[in-house]
A and B are shown apart, each in its own frame.
Chain A
Amino acid sequence: MIILFFGFFVNAQNKQLLYNFTDIPQSLMVNPGATIQNNAFFGIPALSGIYAGVGTSEVSLYDLFADDGVDFNTKVRNAVYSINTNDVQRINEQLELFNVGIKIGGLFSKNYISFGIYQELNAFNYWPEDLAILAYEGNSSNIGRAFNLSHLNAKGELLTVFHVGFHRKVNEQFSYGVRAKLYSGIIDISSTKNKGSFLTSLGVDNTYIHTLISDVEVRTSGVAELREEDVEGDDVFNILKNRALLGGNIGAGVDFGVTYNANDRWTYTASLQDFGFIHNKTDIETYTLKGEYALEGVEIPFDDIVNGGSVSADWQEIVDEIEEAFPRDTLRDAYTTMRPLKLNGAVIYRFGRKNKKVLDECNCTSEVNNGYPSSMGAQLFAETHSRYPQLALTLFYYRRLSNFFRLKTTYTIDKFSKTNIGLGISSHFANFNFYLLADNLLEYYNISNANSASLQFGFNYIFPKKD
């Protein structure tokens, strides 16, 4: 069951449950300026942060694959005609290999550093509406319709990230943080700047004229070497391992974050993640299809045959012309990709009866929640993509249930869903922290019907804060 569960859960990079959930040390990964509630922590290696999410707007897996007796091809038909080029499909996965944080410069220091390595996989696709319709219907029922090649817009990346973050609490009101990142790109595939069209219209000399105007480019890095025939299991692993450890494409980036406590009830936070790039230079193969050609068919030169007798139509000549019009180049030039930039912002309001006893028991600092057991607020998330940013708005409620349990629930509206309820818990037993964050709970009874879902969990050892 659990395995199945993982199989499906691979959501958007929006980590609405983790953001501002400062009981969990990993909240520093989404805001390096987040409030810090420990003197030091270390993540249990490979188990400290496991994140997976999928999202498909408009059509869910269940819409297609439900065992409901409806003919599959009917469902495909409904899907093809209900999704358009603004719909997206995405997969995200992250795995922390290790993550450590420690206050530096003594007990009363205001400085904290954290560092670690994680691995990340992202795939993002805009539904290629026109190409899908062309493949599905053909051009016959679409005479006069120009199929837009810019609908082809997809990218995928696999990388390792080495990071070190610095956090400084300036005073009780304000803290900030910066995280420097070194990206080690393993695989990159992107095709996001395509232009052109394919049109069949009524011709002049013949029934139809077929016009292709194409400026299409697919860039790959790290794919060709793996595709070679004699590359097998162990080799693949070695190649990937080498690239993961800075042996492939190198890039750099930075995260910023701030927390501002306006008073004991109101707090504002903001962060920017992955402001950076990867320079892809290893094992590059870039495929292009650039050119223009209009075809009316093969002209039979009967006039010339009658007059001269020796000319002949030549299909091969047309084939050659077309191939010449669209030189298929495979380029090896290095290229640079920008990382998807992520922006978070939040307003937090605290309320409830201050519980002095809880405060004392947990040795929590007063600034964490200022003794209020509950808080609520709103968060905004934005992520850059090739066409337009993906946005999400979240309302949340946080409650410190006990010293051992803290809970956050979220309601998120985004492109994927208007009914996304999430629940996260952070448990603290004997300095061990276990957290589990999952969204789209309303769809839990049938996860395949969810348009998006994400799961994140991990184990940490936390040295409690004493001051």
Chain B
Amino acid sequence: MPLLIKKYNTILLLILSSFLMFSCVKDVDFDQAETLTIEPVIDASLFYFELSASSVGNAPNNDITPLSVQDTTKMDVFSKPFFKENLQEAAFIFEFENTSQREFNAKIVFYDVAYNQLDEIDILINGPTISRTHRYAPSEIDKITNTEYLKLELELLPGTPLLDPNSTGALSLKSSGTFFMNIDAD
């Protein structure tokens, strides 16, 4: 009987040690983690305005020229490391709605930190709704990632009627950006 038990034990030990020996990790490659890339797409509102025809009517001689109606704002979000390192492509979407009786021209200018002009988008607003998408391919993405300031200017195109403080309607803009990111493991 004791002999039998000993045999039993030996067998058990063998089984046990074989568990330890053969427990293994099959064909696993952790280096794959380095190839991880995620490609989130971010939509963000940018700037907007509404300019009423009556305000234009208040201006002497409807003087809405690039010099008189322009605004430059600091927009340094795109040059932050998150965008600078990971932004692959971008698209800016501008949607103008014009219910006034006159046509406008809008210009959006991108500047770097030293006020060097990086890009300029001209949009002729000659209809009730004008929608324009401006894309930046990977090769020209640094126009965006170097942007520190944005300028928006408006110009009232020659035409009739002359707008007065009682004129109805307005010019409005909604804009957004779609940012295609490419974030990799290193």
A residues apposed to B, CB below 8 Å:
1-2, 4-5, 8, 61-62, 64-68, 72-73, 76, 134-141, 143, 200, 203, 205-210, 295-303, 305-307, 309, 312-316, 357, 401-405, 407, 423, 425, 427, 436, 438, 441, 444-449
Contact call B55/A315, Cβ cutoff below 8 A:
no
Report which of A296, A307, A447 forms a contact with B25, defined as CB distance below 8 A.
Answer: A447
CB of B157 closer than 8 Å to a CB of A? no
From B13-21, B114-122, B135-143, give the one contacting chain A: B13-21
Q: Is B32 an interface residue (CB 8 A)?
A: yes
A2 to B69, CA, bound (A): 74
Residues of B within 8 A of A404 (CB): 5, 9
Whether A300 touches B8, Cβ cut-off 8 Å, given contacts A4-B25, A306-B64, is: no
CB distance from B123 to the nearest CB of A (A): 14
Q: Decide: B38 and A303 in contact? CB cutoff 8 A.
A: no
Determine whether the beta carbon of B21 is less than 8 Å from that of A1. yes
Contact across chains for B50 and A303 when beta carbons are under 8 A apart: yes
B56 contacts which chain A residues (CB < 8 A)? 306
**How long is the Cα–Cα vector from A313 to B157 in the complex, in angstroms?**
24
CA distance A66 to B33 in the complex (A): 11
CB distance from B105 to the nearest CB of A (A): 14
B49 in contact with A300 (CB, 8 Å): yes
For B29, what are the chain A residues with a Cβ–Cβ distance below 8 Å?
A: 65-67
Find out whether the CB atom of B47 lies under 8 angstroms from the CB atom of A313. Answer: yes
- Closest Cβ neighbor of B46 among chain A residues: A297
Chain A residues in 8 Å Cβ range of B75: 298, 315
* Interface mask (B31-62 → A, CB under 8 Å = 1, otherwise 0): 01101111011111111111110011011000
Tell me which residues across on chain A come within 8 A of B59, comparing CB atoms.
306
Please tell me if B164 contacts chain A, counting CB pairs below 8 Å. no
Q: Knowing that A65-B30, A425-B12, A446-B26 are A-B contacts, what are 8 other residue pairs whose CB atoms are under 8 Å apart, sorted by A's residue number?
A: A67-B29, A73-B35, A140-B42, A206-B45, A297-B175, A300-B47, A313-B73, A449-B26
Q: Are A425 and B28 in contact (CB under 8 A)?
A: no
Q: Are B48 and A299 in contact (CB under 8 A)?
A: yes
Partner of A300, one of B16, B22, B48, B52: B48
Asked whether, in the complex, the Cβ of B42 is within 8 Å of the Cβ of A138, the reply is yes
Q: Which residue of B lies closest to A62 (CB)?
A: B28
22 A-B residue contacts at CB 8 Å? A1-B24, A8-B25, A73-B36, A73-B37, A76-B38, A138-B179, A139-B43, A206-B46, A206-B47, A297-B46, A298-B47, A298-B48, A302-B51, A312-B72, A315-B74, A315-B76, A316-B74, A402-B9, A404-B5, A405-B9, A423-B19, A441-B19
Q: Is the CB of B93 within 8 A of A207?
A: yes
> Chain B nearest CB: distance from A84 CB in Å?
18
Known A-B contacts A207-B93, A207-B175, A401-B8; the reply to A301 vs B49 at CB < 8 A is yes
With A72-B32, A136-B38: A300-B152 Cβ-Cβ less than 8 Å: yes
Decide if B24 touches A447 in the complex (CB within 8 Å): yes
Q: Which B residue's beta carbon lies closest to that of A133?
A: B40
B33–A72 touching, CB < 8 Å: yes
> What are the residues of chain B within 8 A of A4 when measuring CB–CB?
24-25
- Complex-state Cα separation, A436 to B9, whole angstroms: 14
Bound complex: CA of A438 vs CA of B22, how far in Å?
Answer: 14
A306 pairs with B45, CB closer than 8 A: no
Please indicate the chain B residues that have their CB under 8 angstroms from the CB of A357 in the complex: 1
A448 contact from B9, B26, B40, B173, Cβ within 8 A: B26
Q: Taking A67-B28, A302-B71, A445-B24 as contacts, is the C-beta distance between A141 and B41 under 8 angstroms?
A: yes
Q: A8-B25, A299-B47 are in contact. Are A402 and B5 (CB under 8 A)?
A: yes
| Alpha-carbon separation in the docked complex, A404 to B44 (Å) | 70
The 8 closest A-B pairs by CB, nearest first: A138-B40, A297-B45, A140-B41, A206-B48, A207-B176, A72-B32, A67-B29, A300-B49
Selected contact of A206 from candidates B76, B175, B179, CB within 8 Å:
B175
Name B26's contact: one of A208, A297, A423, A445 (CB within 8 Å). Answer: A445
Asked if A206 and B51 sit within 8 Å, CB to CB, the answer is no
Closest Cβ neighbor of A200 among chain B residues: B43
Is B40's CB under 8 angstroms from A312's CB? Answer: no
Which of B142-186 touch A at CB < 8 Å?
152, 154, 173-176, 178-179, 181
- Given the interface pairs A315-B76, A444-B22, the reply to whether A405 lies near B45 with Cβ below 8 Å is no
Minimum CB–CB distance for A406 against chain B, Å = 11
In-complex Cβ contact of B44 among A210, A305, A307, A438 (8 A): A210
Q: Is the CB of A210 within 8 A of B45?
A: yes
A293 to B27, CA, bound (A): 49
Q: Please determine whether B19 and A312 come into contact, CB atoms closer than 8 angstroms.
A: no
Cα A357 to Cα B5 with chains together (Å): 13
CB neighbours (8 Å) of A138 from chain B are: 40-43, 179, 181
A303 CB contacts on chain B under 8 angstroms: 49-52, 55
Q: Verify A401–B174 contact, CB threshold 8 A.
A: no
A82 to chain B: closest CB distance in Å?
A: 16
Q: Complex Cα distance A253/B55, Å? A: 73
